[in-house]
Amino acid sequence: MYYFTYDPWVGKVLYLEDFFVMEQYRGLGIGSEILKRLSQVAVQTHCSCMHFLVAFWNKPSIEYYKHRGAIDLSAEEGWHLFRFTKDNLIQMAAEE
């Protein structure tokens, strides 16, 4: 599952929301084929990069992506991902 976003520093981005290969199918090249197809979509639609999140505890995936050339922005650029919950949004929207 993916969609397009815009980053003011890099331009159009393919954002990979979810990517999962069931355990019994891992090691068969399915993940590599999915990344290939996503890369083709990104190039064909003039994206400058692909962004995605990986849980810090998911070491095998982190190593897989790094091996494929992915850059860990939290380590390289010091970015932090934040979230405002719906309750936070409601509270801020009601502020005077």
- Per-residue pLDDT of 29-57, as tens digits, reads 999 999 999 999 999 999 999 999 998 89
pLDDT value of residue 73: 87
pLDDT value of residue 59: 92
Stretch 82-90: mean pLDDT: 87
Tokens 């976003």 locate to: 5
pLDDT value of residue 84: 85
Distance, in Å, from the CA atom of 48 to the CA atom of 10, rounded to the nearest integer, reads: 6
pLDDT value of residue 77: 79
Query: What helix, strand, coil percent values describe the chain, rounded to 5?
Result: 40, 15, 45
What's the pLDDT band for 75 if we cut at 50, 70, 90?
Answer: confident
Q: Name the nearest CA neighbour of 39 among 62, 8, 68.
A: 68
Catalytic residue among 3, 25, 64, 65: 65
Average pLDDT, the chain: 91
Distance, in Å, from the CA atom of 16 to the CA atom of 30, rounded to the nearest integer, reads: 16
Residue 65 among the catalytic residues: yes
CATH topology assigned to domain 2-93: Aminopeptidase (3.40.630)
